[in-house]
Chains A and B, each alone.
Chain A
Amino acid sequence: MPARHGNRSQTIFLASGAVSNELLSPPRPQPTPSLFDDPHGHRRRLVTAVGAVVCLLCLCILAVAGSVLYADPRAPAMSPVEAVGTTPVR
Chain B
Amino acid sequence: MRAVSPRGHWWVLAGVLTVFLAALFLATSILRGVGEPGTDQDQEPDGLVPHSVSGGGPVVDTRSGSPVSLDVRPGTVALTFDDGPDPTWTPRILQLLAAKHVPATFFVIGRHVVERPGLVRAETAAGHEVGLHTFTHADLATAPIWQMRLELATSRAVLAGATGTSTTLLRPPFSSMPDAVNNRDWHAALRTGALGYLTVLSTQDGLDWEARNAEDIVRDAAPQDGRGAVVLLHDGGGDRSRTVAALGRLIDTLKARGYRFTTVTKAVGLPPQAASATRLDRWYGTALIGLIQAAVTVPPAAAWLLYAVALLTTARLLLLAAAAAAHRRRTGKRALPQPLPSVSAVIPAHNEQATIASCVRALLDGGCPDIDVVVVDDGSTDDTAAAARTVTDPRVRVVTQPNRGKPAALNAGIAHAAHEVILMVDADTTIAPGAVARLAASLADPSVGAVAGNTKVANRKGLLPLWQHLEYVMSFGLERRLFDLAGASPTVPGAIGAFRRSALASCGGISADTLAEDTDIAMALCRAGWRVVYRSDAHARTHVPTTLAGLWHQRHRWAYGTLQSIWKHRHAVKETGIAGRLGRRTLPYLLLFQLALPLAAPLMDAAALYGLTSGTTPVPAFTWAVFTLAQLALAAYALRKDNESLRHLWLVPPQQILYRLALCLVTIHALVTAALGAGPRWRNPSTTHAEARAHPATA
Task: Say whether A associates with B.
Answer: yes
Show the binding face of A for B, using Cβ within 8 Å. Answer: 8-16, 18, 20-21, 23-28, 30-32, 34-39, 41, 43-44, 47-48, 51-52, 54-55, 58-59, 61-62, 64-65, 67-69, 71-78, 80-81, 83-90
Is there an interface contact between A34 and B396, defined as CB atoms closer than 8 Å?
A: no
Rank and list the top 9 A-B pairs by shortest CB-CB distance, nearest first.
A38-B677, A58-B15, A31-B512, A75-B196, A85-B269, A71-B153, A73-B152, A15-B396, A73-B153
With a cutoff of 8 Å between Cβ atoms, the chain B residues found around residue A81 in the complex are 61, 63-64
Known: A23-B415, A51-B8, A59-B15. A86 touches B275 (CB 8 A): no
Q: Identify the closest chain A residue to B288 (Cβ).
A: A64
Q: Of the 9-residue stretches B234-242, B316-324, B563-571, which lies at the interface with chain A?
A: B563-571
Is there an interface contact between B196 and A25, defined as CB atoms closer than 8 Å?
A: no
| Bound Cα distance A12, B404 (Å) | 16
Is there an interface contact between B71 and A36, defined as CB atoms closer than 8 Å?
A: no
| Bound Cα distance A68, B295 (Å) | 14
With a cutoff of 8 Å between Cβ atoms, the chain B residues found around residue A9 in the complex are 401-402
Q: What is the CB-to-nearest-CB distance from B371 to chain A, in angstroms, rounded to a whole number? A: 13
Bits for B48-84, please: 1 = Cβ < 8 Å to A, else 0.
0000100111000101101111111100000000000
Q: Identify the closest chain A residue to B280 (Cβ).
A: A72
Known: A64-B287, A77-B196, A88-B70. A35 touches B568 (CB 8 A): yes
Is there an interface contact between B411 and A14, defined as CB atoms closer than 8 Å?
A: no
How many residues from B make CB contacts under 8 Å with A?
100
Is there an interface contact between B399 and A11, defined as CB atoms closer than 8 Å?
A: yes
Query: Chain B's interface: helix, strand, loop or mixed, by majority?
Result: mixed
With a cutoff of 8 Å between Cβ atoms, the chain B residues found around residue A15 in the complex are 388-389, 391-398
Is there an interface contact between A31 and B168, defined as CB atoms closer than 8 Å?
A: no
Q: What is the CB-to-nearest-CB distance from A21 to chain B, in angstroms, rounded to a whole number? A: 7
| Bound Cα distance A39, B101 (Å) | 73
| Bound Cα distance A32, B679 (Å) | 15
Is there an interface contact between B150 and A36, defined as CB atoms closer than 8 Å?
A: no
Q: Does B384 contact A (CB under 8 A)?
A: no
Q: What is the CB-to-nearest-CB distance from B487 to chain A, in angstroms, rounded to a whole number? A: 26
Is there an interface contact between B678 and A31, defined as CB atoms closer than 8 Å?
A: no
Q: What is the CB-to-nearest-CB distance from B12 to chain A, in angstroms, rounded to a whole number? A: 5
With a cutoff of 8 Å between Cβ atoms, the chain A residues found around residue B69 in the complex are 88-90
Q: Identify the closest chain A residue to B505 (Cβ).
A: A25
| Bound Cα distance A86, B59 (Å) | 12
| Bound Cα distance A69, B287 (Å) | 15
Bits for B667-679, please: 1 = Cβ < 8 Å to A, else 0.
0000010111111
Is there an interface contact between B402 and A28, defined as CB atoms closer than 8 Å?
A: no
Is there an interface contact between A65 and B398, defined as CB atoms closer than 8 Å?
A: no
| Bound Cα distance A20, B413 (Å) | 13
Ordered by A's residue number, 10 sampled pairs between the chains whose C-beta atoms are within 8 Å are: A10-B401, A24-B415, A28-B508, A34-B679, A47-B672, A55-B8, A83-B269, A84-B271, A86-B57, A90-B69
Most B Cβ at <10 Å: residue of A34, A71, A75, A89: A75
Q: Does B685 contact A (CB under 8 A)?
A: no
Show the binding face of B for A, using Cβ within 8 Å. Answer: 8-9, 11-12, 15-16, 18-19, 22, 26, 52, 55-57, 61, 63-64, 66-73, 148-154, 156-157, 166-168, 170, 195-197, 268-271, 273, 275, 277, 284, 287-288, 291, 385, 388-389, 391-402, 404, 407-408, 411-412, 414-418, 505, 508-515, 560, 563-564, 567-568, 672, 674-679, 681-682
With a cutoff of 8 Å between Cβ atoms, the chain B residues found around residue A59 in the complex are 15
Is there an interface contact between B71 and A86, defined as CB atoms closer than 8 Å?
A: yes
With a cutoff of 8 Å between Cβ atoms, the chain B residues found around residue A90 in the complex are 52, 66-69
| Bound Cα distance A36, B560 (Å) | 10
Q: What is the CB-to-nearest-CB distance from A40 to chain B, in angstroms, rounded to a whole number? A: 9
| Bound Cα distance A52, B395 (Å) | 59
Q: A64-B287, A73-B151 are in contact. List 12 more A-B contacts (CB 8 A).
A: A20-B416, A26-B415, A28-B509, A34-B681, A36-B564, A47-B675, A51-B12, A55-B15, A62-B22, A68-B157, A83-B270, A84-B271
Q: What is the CB-to-nearest-CB distance from B382 to chain A, in angstroms, rounded to a whole number? A: 16
Q: What is the CB-to-nearest-CB distance from A20 to chain B, in angstroms, rounded to a whole number? A: 6
Residue in contact with A43 in the complex, picked from B407, B513, B563, B677, CB distance below 8 Å: B677
Is there an interface contact between A78 and B168, defined as CB atoms closer than 8 Å?
A: yes
| Bound Cα distance A14, B400 (Å) | 12
Is there an interface contact between A74 and B401, defined as CB atoms closer than 8 Å?
A: no
With a cutoff of 8 Å between Cβ atoms, the chain A residues found around residue B70 in the complex are 83, 86, 88-89
Is there an interface contact between B149 and A10, defined as CB atoms closer than 8 Å?
A: no
Is there an interface contact between B12 and A36, defined as CB atoms closer than 8 Å?
A: no
With a cutoff of 8 Å between Cβ atoms, the chain B residues found around residue A68 in the complex are 150, 153-154, 157, 288
Q: What is the CB-to-nearest-CB distance from B687 to chain A, in angstroms, rounded to a whole number? A: 15
Is there an interface contact between A85 and B73, defined as CB atoms closer than 8 Å?
A: yes
